[in-house]
Amino acid sequence: MQRLQQALGYAFRDPSHLRLALTHPSTKLPDNQRLEFLGDAVLELISSDFLYHKYPDRKEGELTKLRASMVCEPSLAYCAKDLSLEKYLLLGKGEEATGGRNRPSIISDAMEALIGAIYLDGGFTSAKEFVHRFILNDIEDKQLFFDSKTILQEMVQSQGGEALNYVLLGESGPDHMKHFAVAARIGEREIGRGEGRTKKAAEQLAAYRGILNLKEQ
């Protein structure tokens, strides 16, 4: 916990807030779902305020789309990776055995719960500093998450040849907590994989990774 707090740049007055934020519902312990609910609301307010002042000439629809790209599941999971947040999660044995520690939906939920925990522990200013430092940076790259399917489609079409398609690799979990795995392919050639709570989220992440692979090639 001390190592994580150093990475966060924030020392909890009440360490139980941090522990709760990292506790997944698959455990038999009090879990982070309520903190996730709180953190989601705090994140939306902070990101809305940030974008409102940063882009005074943009209309509501543009700001809404940009905010969605910055706080979507793949983007939050990406931000959490910078903190190695997945290493500190408390998971049930079943979730651990099925790779839950690296599942974007679980990591993004923990990120929102962490924001809620910082807000509870240190107030709005502390939460705002954390969000600005770890989430509201590198906006252009985060926009790519939201527009990845469109961008990849245009890239593939410009090259000619075989068509882009998305293949469902797996589906698991109860109805209220589904998990999807998808591969982006050009013809039969796989160029990227993604996971998420919805097929759309999984496809977006697969498309984003496909874009990066194509750019490297």
Which positions are catalytic? Answer: 40, 112
Q: Which residues contact 49 (CB under 8 A, 6 or more apart)?
A: none
Residue 189 in 3-state DSSP?
strand
Q: Residue 213 is encoded by which pair of tokens? A: 């692979």
Query: Within a 10 A sphere around the Cβ of 83, how many other Cβ atoms?
Result: 18
Contacts of residues 134-141 at CB distance under 8 Å and 24 or more positions apart, as own/partner, are: 134/79, 134/82, 134/83, 135/43, 135/47, 135/70, 135/71, 135/75, 135/76, 135/79, 136/46, 136/47, 136/50, 136/70, 139/66, 139/70
SS (H, E, C) 75-123: HHHHHHHHCCHHHHCECCHHHHHCCHHHCHHHHHHHHHHHHHHHHHHHC
Distance CA 136, CA 49 (A): 11
Q: Residue 35 is encoded by which pair of tokens? A: 């903190």
Q: CB of 88 within 8 A of CB of 111? A: no
